């Protein structure tokens, strides 16, 4: 667990991400992060859009199921 503080900047509340946190996320200054609320009320910070990951996983399943057809069409 890594501890960080909430600060007020203008009308917003912000958290500071340490270099260690950015490394863990494989993110850098200026990148977009995605925050997803878990079923237990927790928040998960991710460097990649989870909906895109889900779509890519679904596409991979379809491509695996239809490999022969896709090769014939190529």
Residue 1 falls inside a structural domain: no
Residue 15 falls inside a structural domain: yes
Residue 55's pLDDT is what?
75
| Domain enclosing residue 37, as ranges | 6-72
Structural domains of the chain, count:
1
Residue 42's pLDDT is what?
93
Residue 57 falls inside a structural domain: yes
Residue 59 falls inside a structural domain: yes
Per-residue buried b or exposed e for 21-57, using 16+ beta carbons within 10 Å of the residue's own CB: eeeeeebeeeeeeeeeeeeeeeeeeeeeeeeeeeeee
Residue 50 falls inside a structural domain: yes
Residue 62's pLDDT is what?
83
User: In angstroms, rounded to a whole number, what is the distance separating the alpha carbons of residues 10 and 42?
Assistant: 26
Residue 15's pLDDT is what?
92
Per-residue pLDDT of the chain (74 residues; tens, 9 = 90+): 889 999 999 999 999 999 999 999 989 999 989 888 989 999 988 887 767 667 777 888 888 888 888 888 88
């Amino acid at each position: 667990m890594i501890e960080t503080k909430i600060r007020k900047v203008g009308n917003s509340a912000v958290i500071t991400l340490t270099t260690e946190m950015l490394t863990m996320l494989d993110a850098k200054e200026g990148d977009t992060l995605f925050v997803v609320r878990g079923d237990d009320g927790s928040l998960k910070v991710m460097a990649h859009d989870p909906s895109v990951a889900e779509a890519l996983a679904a596409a991979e399943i379809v491509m695996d199921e239809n490999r022969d057809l896709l090769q014939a069409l190529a």
